[in-house]
Amino acid sequence: MEKLAIRASRPSVFCSLPGLGGNSQRRRPPSDVFLKLPAENRKIVANSASFHSISAVNVSAQASLTADFPALSETNLKERRVNGKEKAENIIWHESSICRCDRQQLLQQKGCVIWITGLSGSGKSTIACALSKALFERGKLTYTLDGDNVRHGLNRDLTFKSEHRTENIRRIGEVAKLFADVGVICIASLISPYRRDRDACRSLLPEGDFVEVFMDVPLHVCESRDPKGLYKLARAGKIKGFTGIDDPYEAPLNCEVLLKHTGDDSSCLPRQMAENIISYLQNKGYLEG
């Protein structure tokens, strides 16, 4: 049976045809869709004379327009639920002609993720900057994903509710994974209070490529520093769900690098702490191609 394909675009096209809302009803299609109209009934009622003209196509009763318009393929429109969200099916990974080992050979280093976690005020961002600078001086390429910085862009739609924190960590984990695949040493610096979320990011990477660094600094020390004034606001009840005050922080159980506050000024210097992380990377071969 011959059918006519018409592409409706704003202003919308109204159709009064059997099978498209009944004989007496008129239904507004979406602003950009394709309609299959029987050739014997092509009565079009439009609210504007402005629409795109396209050629007719011949299809059988069993066929669909997807041969001419692949984007409308039924299989491309199937969706499934993943972690409570819809995810498209029938997507296939496209392999690159340049692999991770090629990029690492070019950079003369191995990609990995250094995940610095700890309470607010524990020194995560300070250590991340010191580490990035020290590696740069060694000719190594790094990139830092700072928790606050990422919330200015990629995660600006997220709050600090528990479910949003989980999504915040998931997104950063996926971005960090891409950097590691490029061959870059990615430094992620954020509180990431929940153990399950950090473990989920670890599972994204090959064994050994997720280096968890725990800034083990007591709460009273972090609160005495309070560089952003957040502890004071939390204690006053002006910030709810603040980690360490009225929301828990789950310390790592088996981190790769432990940076513990001892009260000794020399051991707590950012540069010295950064060198401790670099020693780990050297021992594991990440600073070689």
**3 state DSSP class of 184:** coil
* Continuous segment of H or E residues that includes residue 185: strand 185-189
**Token pair for residue 220?**
């009273």
Torsion of Cα atoms, 164 then 198 then 257 then 252, to 10°: 90
Q: Distance (Å, rounded) from C-alpha 6 to C-alpha 20?
A: 14
The 3-state DSSP composition of the chain as helix, strand, coil percent (nearest 5) reads 30, 20, 50
- Is 192 annotated as catalytic? yes
Q: Calculate Rg over the CA atoms of the chain.
A: 28
The pairing of strands 79-82 and 85-88 is antiparallel
Whether residue 70 is preceded by a cis peptide bond, meaning omega within 30 degrees of 0, is no
Q: Which of 9, 192, 266, 267 is catalytic?
A: 192
Q: Which of 109, 119, 149, 89 is nearest to 222 (CA)?
A: 119
**Token pair for residue 115?**
């995940």
Catalytic residues: 192
